[in-house]
Amino acid sequence: MPVETELYELLGVSFEATEDDIKRAYKRKAKEHHPDKNINDPEAGQKFQEMAAAYEILSDPHKREAYDLHGLDGMAGGRGDPMDAADLFTHLFASGGGHPMFGFDFGPDMGGRRRGKGEEVIPYEVTLEDLYNGKSVKMNMEKEIICGVCKGSGARGNAKPKPCSTCSGKGWTNSKTRLPTGVYANSRAQCTDCHGHGEKLKEKERCKKCKGEKIVKEKTRQEIFVEKGMSDRQRIVLAGAGDQEPGIPAGDVVFVLKAKPHESFERSGNDLLTNVTITLSEALLGFSRIILTHLDGRGIKMTSPPGKVIKFHESVVLRGEGMPIHRRPDEKGDLYVVFQIEMPDEQWLKTANKPAIEAILPAKRLEVDPLPEIVDEADFEESDIVDVGARSFPAGNFFDQGFASQFGEDEEDWEDEEDEEMDGEPECRPQ
Ligand SMILES: [Zn+2]
Ligand SMILES: [Zn+2]
């Protein structure tokens, strides 16, 4: 019998559960409590996080043993990796106090732990590779800490501050401002001598280190972990890592991830989409080669099935080659590959044997039937359809190739896409 059972209860399993039981229970719970599915529950992010942390401990035999023997407090005692799940946990459950630790929450509306000094929000730009592979970032920061010499009193030795003579201890002074109408108005301004405190120390009674300011600037080195599968706008909270001020708890430093667009991959949730260009010969006769380099540098080789003709914009799905799922390190989404077909160029045509090509290719199309009574001749003037497509056509999304602009919406939206191929032939028939 473990010393405490809180984590087991969170996942809804008995303390005798097997690793498989725990994995299954977590999967089910994580799905149910995922913040994306519970947007109206302000505590969803927190619940999700607690379950993830519970899973992290219970799914690891060593951590689980330590937890069974010592409980959470026992295993979080000091030492080591700040990302340790037990640390994260005690922080999530901490009732104030505690030492600075890491935590995560989801989006601006969820689980925002406002502290005395508020939070300092720092945007941090990441590439899709960073989000795929995970990344640890060390950065130098400057923050205000309570002066160690005077312990935040600002005084030297036991000196006590005296009421400020400039403001007579009020902390503010009256000042006259001349309004545009020519009238003088009285206003209050913070006393510049005591900075509004109403009391101050004589020059020689001030702490040498902070000059009576109670705080000093300190350069610190912060390390943040961009975890595999994190998303754009996800927040990484370094609780208590912000500026300090005597008498109030230190603020949080919050990094908000900003995902840079990738030149070959697009992401939608846990899935990825990419375009692969094949030649006309490959489209007709097949291929067996490395078609792309993945976000971790791996080459992905594919062999098309014999006898398969690949059409323009045809797509395939590579199961388990999408983004890693955050906090489920062994699982990934899917990768969708859309084939683009590169036609041979005019240089090739110049040297090619045209009658031979014509003889092997399917025949040219015949005139339309029935033949219209009136036929006008049109010039072949090239145009840039991209520009035209950028304008809005009330008729709908004829020019929308259906991927670039729709990908990134809802997963369900584009999965059915294959059914909606543009119908009709490239003929122009008057209505
Ligand atoms: Zn003053
Ligand atoms: Zn000091």
Q: Are residues 32 and 92 in the same domain?
A: yes
Q: How far is the CA of 350 from the centre of ligand 1 (A)?
A: 89
How many domains in the chain?
3
pLDDT tens, residue by residue, 231-254 = 999 999 888 888 888 888 888 889
Q: Is residue 189 domain-shared with residue 328, that is, in the same domain?
A: no
**276 and 398, same domain (yes or no):** yes
- Indicate whether 71 and 184 sit together in one domain: no
In Å, how far from its chain's centre is CA 116?
A: 27
190 and 274 fall within a common domain:
no
Q: Kindly identify the ligand whose nearest atom is closest to the C-alpha of 206.
A: 2
Give the CATH number for residue 22: 1.10.287.110
CA of 239 to the centre of ligand 2 (A): 25
Average pLDDT over residues 404-411: 41
Is residue 197 classed as helix, strand or coil in its secondary structure?
coil
Residue 290 lies in a domain: yes
Cα-to-centroid distance, 198 and ligand 2 (Å): 18
CA 243 to ligand 2 centroid distance, Å: 16
Tell me 395's DSSP state. T
DSSP for 135-153?
A: EEEEEEEEEEEE-TTTTTS
12 & 81 share domain: yes
Q: Name residue 88's amino acid.
A: L
From first CA to last CA, the distance across the chain in angstroms is 80
Is 61 within the bounds of a domain? Answer: yes
Evaluate whether residue 218 is within a structural domain: no
Closest CA to 56 of 83, 95, 28, 37: 83
Q: What is the pLDDT of residue 94?
A: 36
Residues 173 and 36 in one domain: no
| pLDDT given for residue 408 in this prediction | 42
Q: Is residue 399 part of a domain?
A: yes
Q: Give yes or no for a contact between 314 and 402, defined as CB atoms under 8 angstroms apart.
A: no
92 and 168 fall within a common domain: no
Which range of residues forms the domain containing residue 14? 1-112
Residue 296 phi, psi dihedral angles, 5° rounding? -100, 10
DSSP letters for 95-115: -S-----EEEE-STTSS----
Report if residue 194 sits inside a domain: yes
pLDDT tens string 79-90: 334 344 444 444
Q: How many whole angstroms from 205 Cα to the centroid of ligand 2?
A: 11
> Would you say residue 152 lies in a domain?
no
Same domain, 90 and 195: no
Which tokens hold the place of 319?
């199961």
For residue 395, pLDDT beyond 90:
no
Which amino acid, one-letter code, is at 93? F
Task: Decide the pairing of beta strands 271-279 and 335-342.
Answer: parallel
The model's pLDDT over 135-170, given as tens digits with 9 standing for 90+, comes to: 999 888 888 899 999 888 888 888 888 888 888 888
If one counts every other C-beta atom within 10 angstroms of the C-beta of residue 86, the result is 24
pLDDT score of 288 more than 60:
yes
145 falls within a domain: no
The full DSSP string for 275-316 is: EEEEEHHHHHH--EEEEEE-TTS-EEEEEPPTTPPPPTT-EE
Q: Which 8-state DSSP code applies to residue 247?
A: T
Are 5 and 105 part of one and the same domain?
yes
Give the CATH number for residue 280: 2.60.260.20
Cα–Cα–Cα angle for 103, 106, 110, nearest 5°?
100
Residues 279 and 409 occupy one common structural domain:
yes
How high does pLDDT run on average in the chain?
78
147 CA from centroid of ligand 1 (Å): 22
Please report the pLDDT score of residue 140 as a whole number. 87
Residue 159 to residue 165: CA distance in whole angstroms: 17
Q: Is residue 176 within a helix (H) or strand (E), and if so which, with residue range?
A: strand 172-178
- Ligand 1 centroid, distance to 158 Cα (angstroms): 21
The first and second tokens of residue 316, run together, are 């395939």
Task: Tell me which residues have their CB within 5 A of the ion that is ligand 2.
Answer: 147, 149-150, 207, 209-210
Q: Give 110's pLDDT tier (boundaries 50, 70, 90).
A: very low
Domain boundary among 112, 136, 154: 112
* Residue 130: inside a domain: no
Extract the tokens encoding 198.
């109403």
